[in-house]
Structure 1
């Protein structure tokens, strides 16, 4: 009879932890899908599922169309070793941080949301009710990111994780006075220095869109799963939308300064900065009036060239002559 080496034991442990991570990421996985992701046979997947069950994780299995392995809410939190009070305190703290009460710590909100989506899988139903009740008493007086209802964030985070359609009411047009129902395939939540955004495929407009989470109402997640599309990079898409596409006028400049220098001077929500080489970068920004964009770049204090639109270069000359005329003779 062969013996199991320490290396093989470590390999099994790492694989089981990877399996647990996959089950936390999505609502249902088929056996063949898990086998492919783990690089093992379906029989090994079944054995690893039994190992998780032995640790106390409630892994459910169902047959037929739409069936597969699913991680349910457990009676306890093995092997986190949290009692009920500790689990509630941890979750409420994460809800507060994800909703905007993170005290301005960089990355605190999105890290809290990632942790919440994992804890949500194993938090018992009886504790979930207590968490929802207690989270309503959490507030923050700190500045920074616009506060967002944590339950709204969690609903969207679950929908992204489980790859199910979501719906919400969202302001239509620039006035924002009319609300329209939007049906989307949610892909990623993106945190900026000021707000939370959702990258999603808009089913009614048949295109990618970014949405401000604080402007959503009536957020719901459906049970209808979608097949993931090839998505753009979430952070890049949202930043370009916020800094440029959302405005009626856009402009591009070639700035004679390193990209790192310019990024330190301008907010990520005001402009997209792309490096050209070690000493130059491209700046993309938008506004209702191009004069506002022009002043923004001028005040950076670097030499620059207008790349687009062509009429903005003419506007530069007009303003330059006006400035020269305002000086002493």
Structure 2
């Protein structure tokens, strides 16, 4: 018994046949040569299948032209408008490839690193003379803690519930959460999950950097519908602002911090004083510490101490033991 051809496979085979045909294809040509149409029980069933497939291809933007033989008007054929179907040549300047190379570094430590790297390799192949290394010295990266990003993306696509251990920002306590994931959004260099907390029976926002360990899927796929909601408003309410940091920054330094500043308070001792808000003081402390002496924390004291602890730990790595 012959295996029935999937409709999607039949549609693809029809497109391939039209694309490679030397001239036009008649209905009899299609029925005899395209995989799947021989499954039709009779002429009426074939006509119905073929008309549905043609309409679907046209809806997808494939320009199918119907041609009638000027001598034999009953001989109707079909072909592709190759001029309308072919895409123009893709070209990029060396500078454009450099910018795309910089953008790809955002995903260096994240789940999508492989996809970004493959895409960039293909783009470089069509741009001779590209110099991506010309932009070295500027680095945009996701923190390694965002490893939850990939599993959550998959769960959102499958509409499947997840469970994970989450560390709260206010107390630092860890607890297991059961969530129906709705959306992933980025704000202030952090990624947030918006979803329905099953245990609390309410929408909640979770910062991915506070997800501890592995994200696991639970239950069947297609288990829930994502409601209509203003994701940005929910994020603003749910994420909250835990820390308002007053920083003293050397001129022309700390560009990323300056870009996120919500207030500027003049100068102090030759430094620009800015205010930055965040709900993740640990991530902010790590970022400030990476600038070394270029950025000083004026307030709050807890954040200043957290930055100093990181700097002391780095300094101790270079100490030579005395014996």
Shorter-chain TM-score range:
0.3 to 0.5
Larger Rg: 2
